Structure 1
Amino acid sequence: MNKEDQVILGFRDLYNKMVWLNKDKMENSLKGYKPSEVHCIEYIEKNADSNVTKLAESFYMTRGAISKLTKKLIKKGLIESYQKSDNKKEIYFRLTEQGKVIYKIHEDLHKEFQERDKAVFEQVTEEQFDSMLRFVEKYNKHLDAEIKKLGIDFKAE
C-alpha cells in the first residue's frame, strides 16, 4: 500500500474510531435529536446572523434541505427566526433557551472528548500542526474544485 492510500485509510480509520467512541455518549446525552439537528444548532450559535444560505454552504446541502431542517428545529422549539429592521427580506435564525441547552450539552461532550485525546495532541509540535493544517487546506481546495467540476456550487445554490 502506498503512502497516499495509507493517509486516506488512516483518516477514515481515525474518523470511524472517533465516531464509534463518541456515539453512545452523544446519543444518550442528546436523545431525540439527530446529528444534523445538533450540528445545525451548533452552527447557529457560533455564527451570527445564520440564514438558510449560510447553513446550506456550510453543510453542503441544498437550501431546500436546510429549510426543512430549520422548520423542524423551530417546531421543536430549539431555534427561532428573526428579521433585521433594515432588511425585511432575509430571515435569520438564533437559538431559543431550549436550543442553548442542547448546544451546551454538545459542547460539554466535545470538551470531554478533547480532554480524553489531549495526551496525543500535547505531543504534536507546532511544525507538525502547521504541516497537517497545510495538507488539510490543500486537500479541501482540491475537493472543492472537483465538486465545482461536477457543476455543483454549494456556495451559489
Structure 2
Amino acid sequence: MNKEEQVLMGFRDLFNKLVWLNKGKMENSLKGYKPSEVHCIEYIEKNVDSNVTKLAESFYMTRGAISKITKQLLKKGLIESYRKPDNKKEIYFRLTEKGKVIYNIHEDLHKEFQERDKAVFEQITEEQFDSMLSFVETYSRHLDAEIKKRGISIEPE
C-alpha cells in the first residue's frame, strides 16, 4: 500500500472509530432524534438565515431530502420557519427553545469527546496542524473542482 492509500485508509479508519466510539453516547443522549436531524439543528443554530438550499448544499443532499428533515423538525417543534419582510418567497429556519435544548446536548457531547481526545491534540505542533490543514484544504478544493468539472449537482436533473 502506497502512502496515498495509507492516508486515505487512515482517514476512513479514524472516522469510523470516532463514529463507533461516540455513537452509543450520542444515541442515548439524543434518543428519538436521527443524526441528520441533529446535524440540521446544529447547522441552523450556527448559520443565520438557514434555508433548504443552504442546508442541502452543506450536507450534499437534495432539497427534497432536506425538506423532509425540516418538516420533521417543524412537526417535533424543534425549529420554526420565518420569512423576511423584503423577501416573502424564501422560507428560513431558526431553532425553538426545544431545538436549542437538543443543540446544547449535542454541543456538550462534542466538548466531552474533545476533552477525551485532548491528550492527542496537545502533542501536535503548530507546524503539524498547519500541514494537516493545508492538506485538507488542498484536497477539498480538488474535490470541489472535480464535482464542478463533472457537472454534479445536488439536485437530479
TM-score bucket (shorter structure) = over 0.9
Q: Distance in 1 between matches of 2:57 and 2:99?
A: 22
Partner SS state of residue 151, structure 2: coil
Q: Does 1:4 align with 2:7?
A: no
Partner SS state of residue 153, structure 2: coil
Deviation at 1:85, TM superposition (A): 1.1
Deviation at 1:87, TM superposition (A): 1.1
Deviations 1:60-115 (A, max 9, x none): 01111111110111001110000111111111000011100000000000000000
Q: Which deviates the most, 75-84 or 138-147? A: 138-147
Matched with 2:30 is 30
Where do 4+ consecutive residues of structure 1 move more than 6 Å?
A: none
Matched with 1:92 is 92
Deviation at 1:150, TM superposition (A): 3.1
Normalised to the residue count of structure 1, the TM-score between the two structures is: 0.95
Q: Does 1:111 align with 2:122?
A: no
Deviation at 1:154, TM superposition (A): 3.7
Gaps of 5+ in 2: none
- Counterparts of 1:2-151 in structure 2, within 5 Å, are 2-151=2-151
Q: Distance in 2 between matches of 1:30 and 1:85?
A: 35
| Corresponding residue pairs, total | 156
How much identity, in percent, do the aligned residues show? 85
Task: Tell me which amino acid in the other structure corresponds to 1:72.
Answer: Q
Partner SS state of residue 120, structure 1: helix
Q: Distance in 2 between matches of 1:139 and 1:121?
A: 22
**RMSD, matched Cα:** 1.4
Deviation at 1:148, TM superposition (A): 2.4
Partner SS state of residue 50, structure 1: coil
Q: Distance in 2 between matches of 1:110 and 1:120?
A: 16
